[in-house]
Amino acid sequence: MSVADVSLRRAGEVPVERAPRFPRKPKGISGRSIAIIVFLTICAAFFCVPLYIIITTSFKTMEQVREGAIFSLPAPFTLDAWWSAWDTACSGIRCDGLKVGFWNSMAILFPSLILSIALSSVTGYALALWNVRWANTFLFVLFICAFVPFQIIMIPLIILSSGLKVYGTIWGIAIVHAVLAMPFLTLVFRNYYKGIPQEIMSAAMMDSGSFWRVFVEIILPMSGNILIVVLILQITSIWNDFLLGLTFGGLGTQPMSVVLANVVITTTGEAAYNENMAAALLTAIPPLFIYFVLGKFFVQGITAGAIKG
């Protein structure tokens, strides 16, 4: 048989290379394709115009902004607006720029990331892979909680966090982020862990049987992909959050987006549009950076929101 296999492999009749008798010109791009690409390009322009305008405006001087040519390129090109947005822009009565907000957002980001991912991954794991009798009921409740408008729980949460002496602190905001993200993230983790083959769980149960050891040694190493997706989802949503920061942030502990809104909205006299645009860009850079570097995971993260049965 081995002989036959060897011979079979070279058994195919290979024709000698020769010029085709009926050559065809490579087909040019069709009219319909051109129409579609033109349409998509126009749409892409629509999506890019705002970005172009905030970028160019942020590098202009106020004199140039006042000329009213919004599409013109910056001349002279200046970083002044960026510096003042970062360092001296006024929000309300304070004039120390976005830097305070930036560091606040950073300080909120890390604890709430750790809290929310730890809490929801363990919960999702317990619900997906361990026999908890009321798991389905709980999941349904979480499903509903994930879509509840914030306003319906806002006031009790304010009262509760005041009672716990965390209202108006960085920690308060971080904890509220973790709490509010818990239902949705738990569902995401649960759906992911549900996809782990039952055999792996059975084998792990026989070998160890300990809830935490199975989680740390078997499940967590298998969660790389979903952890990145959730991480990106959480970083962008915490960074971009406005409402929680506004509600639970005190003076000096507000995250960047709240400071940005204050800078832009509460201006007295003529607005410094170049500074506003620089401030907006400063706020948008971290999530945009993540988007352009880790786009694939970002898309997975946002479409994870489109409930999978």
Partner 1 sequence: MPRVQFEDIIKTYGRVTVLKNLDLEIDDGEFLVLLGPSGCGKTTLLNLLAGLLDVTAGRITIGERDVTDLDPKDRGLAMVFQSYALYPTKTVRGNLKFGLASQKIDGAEVDRRIAWAARMLQIEPLLDRKPAQLSGGQRQRVAIGRALVKKVGLFLFDEPLSNLDAKLRTEMRLEIKKLHDELKSTIVYVTHDQIEAMTMATKIAVMDGGVIQQFGTPDEIYSRPRNLFVAGFIGSPAMNLRAGKITNGGGTVTAALDGVTLDLGRYGFASQPADGQPIVVGLRPEHFGAPGQALADAAGTFSLPVQYTEKTGGDATGYLKFGDGLIAARIDPEQIGRFRQGDTVDVSFPQGKVHVFDAVSGARL
Partner 2 sequence: MALRWSRVSPQLALTPALAITLVAFIGAIAWTIFMSFTRSRRFPEYFFDPAEWSRQYERLFKDDGWAIALKNLLVLGVGSFLAIVFGFILAAMIDREKRGEGFFRTIFLYPLAVSLIVTGVAWRWMFNPSFGLQNALHSIGLTWVNFDWLSRADTAMYGIILATVWQGAGFYMALMLSGLKSINSEIWNAARLDGVSFWRLYIEIIIPMMKFTFLTCAILMSLGVVKAYDIVVAMTNGGPGQATWVPAYFTINAYWVKSNLGYASAAAVIMLAITGLIFLPLVLLTAWRERAREARAT
Site for partner 1 in 22-81 (CB under 8 A): 22-24, 27
Among 92-100, 106-114, 221-229, 240-248, which window interacts with partner 2 (CB under 8 A)? Answer: 240-248
The nearer residue to partner 2, 88 or 266, going by C-beta atoms, is: 266
Does position 268 interact with partner 2 (CB under 8 A)? The reply is: no
Nearest to 80 by CA among 104, 103, 57, 49: 57
Site string for partner 2, 104-143 (x = CB under 8 A): ---------------xx-xx-xxx--xxx-----x--xx-
Torsion of CA 174, 180, 183, 189, to 10 degrees: -30
The nearer residue to partner 1, 156 or 309, going by C-beta atoms, is: 309
* Shortest Å distance, C-beta 34 to partner 1: 18
Report the largest interatomic distance among the alpha carbons of the chain, rounded to a whole angstrom: 92
C-alpha 151/C-alpha 100 separation (Å) is 27
The nearer residue to partner 2, 16 or 306, going by C-beta atoms, is: 306
* Shortest Å distance, C-beta 195 to partner 1: 25
The site partner of 223 among partner 2, partner 1, none (C-beta below 5 to 8 Å per kind) is: none
CA distances from 47 to 94, 128, 164, 180, 237 (A): 34, 40, 45, 31, 21
- Secondary structure of 32-99 in HEC code, one letter for each residue: HHHHHHHHHHHHHHHHHHHHHHHHHHHCCCHHHHHHCCCCCCCCCCCCHHHHHHHHCCCECCECCCCH
* Shortest Å distance, C-beta 67 to partner 2: 8
Does position 188 interact with partner 2 (CB under 8 A)? The reply is: no
> Quick one: angle between helices 80-87 and 31-58, nearest 10?
70
The site partner of 107 among partner 2, partner 1, none (C-beta below 5 to 8 Å per kind) is: none
Q: How many positions of this chain bind partner 2 (CB under 8 A)?
A: 94
Q: Which of 151, 206, 221, 269 binds partner 2 (CB under 8 A)?
A: 151
